[in-house]
Homo-oligomer: A and B are copies of this chain.
Amino acid sequence: MDLMLSDTQEMIRDGARRFLADSLDADTVREVEASADGVHAEIWAQMAELGWTALALPDDIGGGGAGLADLCVLAEELGRAAASTPLVATAGFAAAFLRAVEPTAATRDLLSRLAASDAVITPALADVVGRDERSAPSSVLTETDAGATIAGAKAMVPYASVAQVLLVSLTTPDGEAAVVAVDRDAAGVSWARHGATGGDPLFHVEFDNVDVPADAVLARGPAAQRAIDAGLDAATILATAEAVGCCEAMIRLGSEYASNRQQFGRVIGSYQAVAHRLADMRINTDACRLLVAETAWLLDQGREATLEVAGTKVFANEVMVDMVHAAHTVHGAIGYTTEYDLQLYTRRARAFCLSHGDTDAQTERAAVALGL
């Protein structure tokens, strides 16, 4: 038992913090949010160059040989800086998904592109009419002589405009689940950005009878579902680590503001109504971080961790909703303005609570895992 960061993790943390301090200030975050793609392409490219995006892939395929727990340290730093990158989609979902399916030439190829950090691969799971990523898709995969054709539309696809490959969940005519790797530039694929409050750019993606080769079908049936779950679990934990970073930023901003703002002749941080709210934010943020770390470690060990992933998400959802409002309370009106940085983090934290499995969905997964 050792809950201190490892040397590697400290190195990742310090390196990422330095790098982001140099390359991403809050005004740049605002520019990125207003841009068409909604992504900080340069930071992503530099992270790729530094080997960070491939950090958690096995070294035998050219990855960094580290674990999800290490990647979470990086994700927390991205959260602290409100950086929008496809880390969760690519190094989280795609990497875990591709490692969970039956290896083929196609999956090996995709994994080596991830290891070489030269592809953004993003999940396209939730159908336009469905509730979330785990709802059975109505988008259809039909086999053809040349391979297969897919038709349908997906919502909430992260980073679609900068992706090279989409991992699309589909239903076959006989009701089986399937996941297909679709070239984002294939004929028939079109996308439009959603209006959304969080940090990740989300897209509505249409598949108008898109033809794919037979080997693009990466998984079918229960195996497809298991691989999706593996991908979502990794993405959930990584996203929670990012959200922990957002909370750290909320605490930092709140503590600074409360240490300087005076009312009634006293610094407001000396009022318990303010100080204790910040203390509670500290407590819950620490709790979230430790849950993330333990869960990532379990996943790195190859253990069954549905209970831990789902439970961590349920806890994070509950406490982060409170923290968002606590942070605004500490700041008063200034925190509501777009000129001030708080909203960059509170919008992300609130969107996080709705994403990656909401409380209902994760509660049910955890309850089953608990034996209930």
A264 within 8 A of B: no
Interface SS of A by simple majority? helix
CB-nearest residue of chain B to A274? B272
Chain B positions within 8 Å of A276 at CB level: 272-273
Kindly supply a per-residue 1/0 record for chain A positions 257-294, scoring 1 wherever the CB is within 8 Å of any chain B CB and 0 otherwise.
00000000000000111001000000000000000000
A271 to B275, CA, bound (A): 12
A179 to B272, CA, bound (A): 56
A273 to B277, CA, bound (A): 10
Residues of A in contact (CB 8 Å), total 4
Chain B positions within 8 Å of A273 at CB level: 272-273, 276
Nearest Cβ distance between residue A152 and chain B, in whole angstroms?
A: 32
Chain B positions within 8 Å of A271 at CB level: 272
A272 to B271, CA, bound (A): 7
Nearest Cβ distance between residue A139 and chain B, in whole angstroms?
A: 31
A276 to B273, CA, bound (A): 8
A273 to B278, CA, bound (A): 13
CB-nearest residue of chain B to A276? B273
A273 to B276, CA, bound (A): 8
CB-nearest residue of chain B to A271? B272
A273 to B272, CA, bound (A): 6
A273 to B270, CA, bound (A): 12
A271 to B272, CA, bound (A): 7
For chain A, residues 16 to 55, give those with C-beta under 8 angstroms from any C-beta of chain B. none
A272 to B268, CA, bound (A): 12
CB-nearest residue of chain B to A273? B272
Nearest Cβ distance between residue A149 and chain B, in whole angstroms?
A: 42
Nearest Cβ distance between residue A17 and chain B, in whole angstroms?
A: 34
A276 to B329, CA, bound (A): 14
Nearest Cβ distance between residue A256 and chain B, in whole angstroms?
A: 21
A273 to B273, CA, bound (A): 6
Can you report 6 residue pairs joining A to B where beta carbons are below 8 Å apart?
A271-B272, A272-B272, A272-B273, A272-B276, A273-B273, A273-B276
Residues of A whose CB lies within 8 Å of any CB of B are: 271-273, 276
* The 4 A-B residue pairs with the shortest CB-CB distance in the complex, in nearest-first order: A272-B272, A272-B273, A271-B272, A273-B276
